[in-house]
Structure 1
Amino acid sequence: MIFLDDIRKAAAILDGRVIRTPLVRSATFSRIADAEVYLKLECLQTGGSFKVRGATFKLLMSSGEIGGGGVVAASAGNHAQGVALAAKAAGVAATIVMPVWASMGKQEATRNYGAQVLLAGDSLAESISIAKDMAEDGRTFIHPYDDEDIIAGQGTIGLEILEDLPDPDVVVVPVGGGGLIGGIASAIKPLRPETRILGVEAAACPSAFESLRKGRRVTVEAKRSIADGISVKELGETNFPIIREHVEEVLLVEEEEIASAVLALLERKKILAEGAGAAPLAALLSSKFEVPEGGKVVLVISGGNLDPPLLERVVRQGLLKNGRIMRFSACIDDVPASLSRLLGLVAERGGNVLSIHHARGGIGLSLLRARVEVEVETRSFDQIEDIRQRLTAAGYEIKVRR
């Protein structure tokens, strides 16, 4: 178990070495939830996530044991950058084993922080196993979550939350291997036992959810998720008993819900969060847990390392889910002004055309007609339905696509 004194020691050592991230109230999300909603912005931490806390504390506690080979770690991205930064600050070499599917942006960021990157393993578990084997040559292995010093370092977030907001009713934390929620829960529960600690996982990889349900650690099959930072197939051995004792519930969120939360943070708070970091907001906006009326809710936005190509896809998915984009196809006469008449009706109902694909010919299509695929910016599903009805009333047969 991790004790409060361990976390207080970590906080004292990390003071001045990591950023004390802000806890900010969101008027928009507070209004939506009918509660006082606060965001703990670890996405503003050095390296873009909370991981540098645990990595820095671990390296400092292990400084007398680290040999000339330096340290080796395994990570899909955020722990990699945290270890790279901590190792650079400590003046030791770092080798990071990353799964072959790790994003190119996180690979490059890790290299830019001074670490050597090795792509190996089809899963994080395989990468961890490879890194442990590499540690046999004299390097010190830094586990991403199943380590008491790592957990204590992450737990400093819990102390900061209580310093800024002494009486939260609910604290919602992303769950991957369990180091973050294990540390936060170990900090908060001894000081304020009435605070509910909730975990959030992507439904695509429900390892903590299934472990709590079955009463033992289990390994699950992981599907692809935009919340890659919490796609961990099995909870850490050290973390599971902490979660079982201190965490009231683990919630599951779907990919569309995560995408909507990423978009909401961008639009409403101008905050860039990766999928894992947005998962607590996804749980709030999709009503996955009860919020006491007027109660105080803290959402831990754990990281902001979202690659630009994925960001584009996530934002588009969020817009589609929220009725902000309408996509439809229609057949029109292949004569002058036919397309402009169709688009004029869309504009008449307030739609803003984003793109058009115009094609002649094709199976089942008359030689005298053309098929158009149109994407329109909209305000809501009500406006989408209004445009659909207007086009139908004008004689067009349209197919609205999601």
Structure 2
Amino acid sequence: MKLPTLDEIKSATQVVRAVMPPTPQYTWPLLNARCGTEVWVKHENHSPVGAFKLRGAAVYMDWLKKSKPTLTGVIAATRGNHGQGVALAASRLGLTSVIVVPFGNSREKNRAMQSLGAELIEYGDDFQAALEHSRTLAETRGLHPVPSFHTLLVYGTATYALEFFQGAPELSVVYVPIGLGSSICGMISVRNALGLKTKIVGVVAKDAPAYALSFRKKKALSATANSRLADGLSCRVPVPEALEIILANVDHMVEVSEGEIADAMRSYYEDTHNVAEGAAGAGLAAVLKERETHDGRVGVVFTGGNVDRELFLDALKTA
């Protein structure tokens, strides 16, 4: 897959601006003290759907509407944030949306997708099963399948990375949680396009280690994906195109445990009073895990804040 150029990212930014303003990047004194260095946080939890996924969905849907003007509906599989982005972007363009989620998915994410006009279908025990079912439904119902990883989604996620690198001081390293890979590929695109020396570190949940295993072995390897807290990172099968980019550009991978993710969610709340979902907490968990290695200013992506109340309360209680 060819990474977007700076001009292409700027063009994508114009599309994204039609649905959302830039999100902020802040450095928080209490968080800096906890991490032992100056940390800049990119707050994608401040988007209209509470996560970065709207950016890629907006770019993809804009292209889809222009290239297939007679299309009436789309379908996507998700654990929540991608589905919210697809539902909102589709409704803005007059398209119907069908979203497939696995059984036991976040109740509050499900409600959010329905509130954005999506038809919600539950199927399978994990994201991969929901994805495969969505592909079947796309054929039987004549819907366009919106992928969870695609070049245009990377264009969209790259828009937050451009804001981040332009809005924060020079960063020595940036930690990026990995679901299927569009976010970290967007970060890589901008780092490369701007010619920066910033190291990019991928973060996965220990209970969903497919990308970390694949990174170590330098080939795609499937793995179980059972993270209770970081459902957004619950990838069982890596995307080959994303893995190729990661292998060529990522400095290293960090695996974080459920306990470390819960600690980070609590730390975000105590130090910034932002509510972090597990995937967002994973990024900070990796920063804290590598606290002794930092040599310079650190960046971390706060990917989203969509977490069920009970799950968040459990994380707050963990000590």
What TM-score does the superposition give when structure 1 sets the normalisation length?
0.76
- What is the Cα deviation at residue 208 of structure 1? 1.0
- What is the Cα deviation at residue 65 of structure 1? 1.5
The equivalent of 1:180 in structure 2 is 183
In the alignment, does 2:150 pair up with 1:156?
A: no
Q: Show CA shifts across 1:286-329 (max 9, x none).
A: 2267210xx11111000000111111111112xx2xxxxxxxxx
Percent identity over paired residues: 31
- The structure with the largest strand share of the pair is 1
Amino acid at match of 2:21: I
- The structure with the largest helix share of the pair is 2
Are the equivalent residues in 1 in contact too, given 2:210–2:235 (CA < 8 A)? yes
Q: Show CA shifts across 1:164-211 (max 9, x none).
A: 025211111111111111111111123133100011111001111111
Of the three residues 55, 69, 80, the one matched with 1:53 is 55
Are the equivalent residues in 1 in contact too, given 2:28–2:272 (CA < 8 A)? yes
In the alignment, does 2:6 pair up with 1:2?
A: no
SS at match of 1:205: coil
Q: Show CA shifts across 1:219-247 (max 9, x none).
A: 10122320111111122222111111111
Paired residue total: 315
For 1:288 and 1:192, locate their aligned partners in 2 and report how far apart those are by CA, in whole Å. Answer: 26
CA change 1:19–1:96 in 2 (3 A) is: same
For 1:67 and 1:214, locate their aligned partners in 2 and report how far apart those are by CA, in whole Å. Answer: 45
Amino acid at match of 1:316: K
Are the equivalent residues in 1 in contact too, given 2:102–2:122 (CA < 8 A)? yes
The structure having more radius of gyration, on CA atoms, is 1
For 1:286 and 1:201, locate their aligned partners in 2 and report how far apart those are by CA, in whole Å. Answer: 13
Of the three residues 9, 28, 31, the one matched with 2:30 is 28
- What is the Cα deviation at residue 33 of structure 1? 3.0
For 1:226 and 1:37, locate their aligned partners in 2 and report how far apart those are by CA, in whole Å. Answer: 23
Are the equivalent residues in 1 in contact too, given 2:26–2:40 (CA < 8 A)? yes
- What is the Cα deviation at residue 67 of structure 1? 4.2
The equivalent of 2:309 in structure 1 is 308
1:3-402 residue pairs with structure 2 within 5 A?
3-4=4-5, 5-63=7-65, 64-65=67-68, 67-136=70-139, 137-144=141-148, 146-165=149-168, 167-287=170-290, 290-292=293-295, 295-317=296-318, 320=319
For 1:147 and 1:235, locate their aligned partners in 2 and report how far apart those are by CA, in whole Å. Answer: 13
- What is the Cα deviation at residue 11 of structure 1? 1.3
Q: Which segments of 5 or more consecutive residues in structure 1 lack a partner in the other structure?
A: 321-402
Amino acid at match of 1:243: I
Are the equivalent residues in 2 in contact too, given 1:19–1:46 (CA < 8 A)? no
Are the equivalent residues in 1 in contact too, given 2:31–2:268 (CA < 8 A)? no
Higher normalized contact order (CA 8 Å, seq sep 6+, divided by chain length)? 2
SS at match of 2:3: coil
For 2:18 and 2:68, locate their aligned partners in 1 and report how far apart those are by CA, in whole Å. Answer: 23
Amino acid at match of 1:306: V
Q: Which segments of 5 or more consecutive residues in structure 2 lack a partner in the other structure?
A: none
Are the equivalent residues in 1 in contact too, given 2:25–2:42 (CA < 8 A)? yes
Amino acid at match of 2:86: V
Amino acid at match of 1:49: A
What TM-score does the superposition give when structure 2 sets the normalisation length?
0.95
SS at match of 2:49: helix
Structure 1 ranges of 4+ moved more than 6 A: none
